[in-house]
A and B are shown apart, each in its own frame.
Chain A
Amino acid sequence: MPQLNFADFPPQLVWLAISFVILYIAMAKIAIPRISEVLEGRQDRIAKDLDEARRLSEESEQAKTEYEAALEEARSKAHTMVAGLKAELAKEQDASKAELEAKLADNAKAAEESIANAKETALANVKSIAGEAAKAAVSKLVSLDVSDADLNAAVEANLKGKA
C-alpha cells in the first residue's frame, strides 16, 4: 500500500506545509477580502436602497398629509366664504325689508294725514254748508236775515251739543 511507505512521508508533509501556507496567505490577503468587499458592498447597497425607499415613502406620506391639510383648509375657507355671503345677503335683505317697511309706514302715515286733512276740510266744509243751508232755510222760513256771526255761533253750539 503506497500510503504506508514511510519514505514518502517527509516530502508530502513538507509540500503540504508549503502549499497550505501559500493557500492560507492567498485566501487571507487576496481572496477573502475581495469577496467580503463585494458582499459588504452589496449589503450596503441594499441597506442604502431600503433607506432611500423608506425616505421616499415618508416623503410621500408627508405630501399626502400636506395635501389633506390644504384640502381641509380650502374646504373651511369655502365654508366661511359661503357663510359670510349668506350673512351679507341676509343683512341686505333685512335692510331692504326695513326700508320697505319704513316706506310703507311713511306712505300709510301720509295717507292717514291726507285722510285727516280731507276729513278736516270736509268737516269745515260741512260747517259752512250747514250754516249756508241754515241761513237759507231761516231766510226762506222767516224771511229774516241772520248775521253770519250769529249763524256760526249757532252751528258751533249745535255741533258741540251733538258731540
Chain B
Amino acid sequence: MAEGHSPLAQFEIKRLVEMNVGGVDVSFTNSSLFMIIVIAAITLFLTLSMRGRAMVPGRMQSMAELSYEFIANMLKENVGSEGRKYFPFIFSVFMFVLFCNLIGMIPYSFTVTSHIIVTFGLAATVFVTVTLVGIFRHGFKFLSFFVPSDVPAVLLVLLVPIEIISYFVRPISLSVRLFANMLAGHTLLKVFGAFVIALSWWGGWVPLAFITALTGLEFLVAFLQAYVFAILSCLYLNDAIHLHH
C-alpha cells in the first residue's frame, strides 16, 4: 500500500505556513486551518441564524436555540444554578468538539479531534478549569474531595490514593475516549474505502454499502462524543462545586 493511501494518511499534519516563535514551532498547519474553520463556522452559525431575532424561530434559529438550551439544561440538571456562570465555557467546549467532529465528516477534510494532543489539550483545559473552580470555591477543604465519607479509617489508606489517581486520570480518559472514537471511525471508513477500490465494480458494492451505513453511525458518534465530552465536563464541574460523589 502506497504511503498516500494508508488509512492513517488522513491524520498527517501538514505545515501550511512555517512559523517559529522563540524556539517554539507555531506553524500554521492543516489542523490549525480546520480549527479556524470550525470556530468560524460555529460563530457564523450562531450569529447569522440569530440575526432575525424572530419571536417564532425559523429552522436555523431553532437549531441555534436548541443547541443553547441543550447545554443550558445539561448544566442545570448536572450542576444546578451555580453552574450558570460556567455556561459559556461548557458551551464552547461542546460546540468546538461537535463542529470538529462534524466538519471532519466532510470528505478530504481534516478531523481536528482525531489527534490525541488536541483532545488532551481540551480535556486538560476542562480539568484545570474545574480544579481551579474547586480550589477557589472551597480552598483547603477541596482536598476533602479525595477522602470518602463514612468509610473506616483503615480503608482510607487504600481509598485515598485510589481517589487521587482516579481524579488525575480524568483528563486522560476524557481525551482518549474522544480521540479513539474519532481515530477508529475515520480509519475504518478509510479501510473500507480502500476495499471498495480493491474489489472494484464486481465486489466493491458490499464494502460500499457498509461504508454508507458506517457514515451514518459516524455522524451519531460525532454528536455522541461531543455530548459525552460536555456532560463529563458538567459532572466534573459538579464535583468541584459540591464536593460529593
> Which residues of A does B touch, CB under 8 Å?
1-5, 7-20, 22-24, 26-28, 30-32, 34-39, 41-42, 45
Contact = CB atoms under 8 A, between A and B. Distances in A.
B125 A31 contact: no
B46 A34 contact: yes
A11 B121 contact: no
A27 B42 CA distance: 9
Given A9-B117, A17-B121, A22 B39 contact: yes
Contact of B88 (A1, A12, A24, A41): A24
B157 interface: no
A58 to B, nearest CB: 26
A20 B125 CA distance: 10
Candidate in A31, A38, A39 with the most chain B CB atoms within 10 angstroms: A31
Interface of B is mostly: helix
B76 to A, nearest CB: 13
A86 to B, nearest CB: 65
Nearest to B39: A23
B101 interface: no
22 contacts: A2-B8, A2-B13, A3-B11, A3-B115, A3-B116, A3-B117, A4-B116, A8-B117, A10-B26, A11-B13, A11-B27, A11-B28, A12-B121, A16-B35, A19-B32, A19-B36, A20-B92, A23-B95, A24-B88, A26-B42, A30-B43, A41-B53
A38 B36 CA distance: 27
A16 B121 contact: yes
* Interface size bracket, B side: 35 or more
Given A12-B118, A15-B35, A20-B125, 7 more contacts: A3-B179, A12-B29, A23-B43, A27-B46, A35-B46, A38-B53, A42-B55
B26 A28 contact: no
B53 A12 contact: no
Contacts of A17: 121
B5 interface: no
B225 interface: no
A62 to B, nearest CB: 31
Contact of B55 (A30, A32, A45): A45
A37 B68 CA distance: 12
A93 B122 CA distance: 107
B196 interface: no
B238 interface: no
B68 A32 contact: yes
A34 B53 CA distance: 8
Interface string B73-115: 0000000000000011101100110000000000000001011
Nearest 6 interchain pairs by C-beta: A15-B32, A31-B46, A28-B88, A19-B35, A8-B13, A23-B39
A15 B28 contact: yes
A101 to B, nearest CB: 86
A14 B43 contact: no
B50 to A, nearest CB: 5
Interface in B163-219: 179, 183
B221 interface: no
Contacts of B89: 24
A13 B64 CA distance: 28
Given A23-B42, A41-B53, A32 B87 contact: yes
Contacts of A34: 46-47, 50, 53
Contact of B117 (A13, A28, A35, A45): A13
Candidate in A13, A19, A41 with the most chain B CB atoms within 10 angstroms: A19
B65 A12 contact: no
Given A24-B88, A27-B95, A14 B117 contact: no
A42 B24 CA distance: 49
A3 B11 CA distance: 7
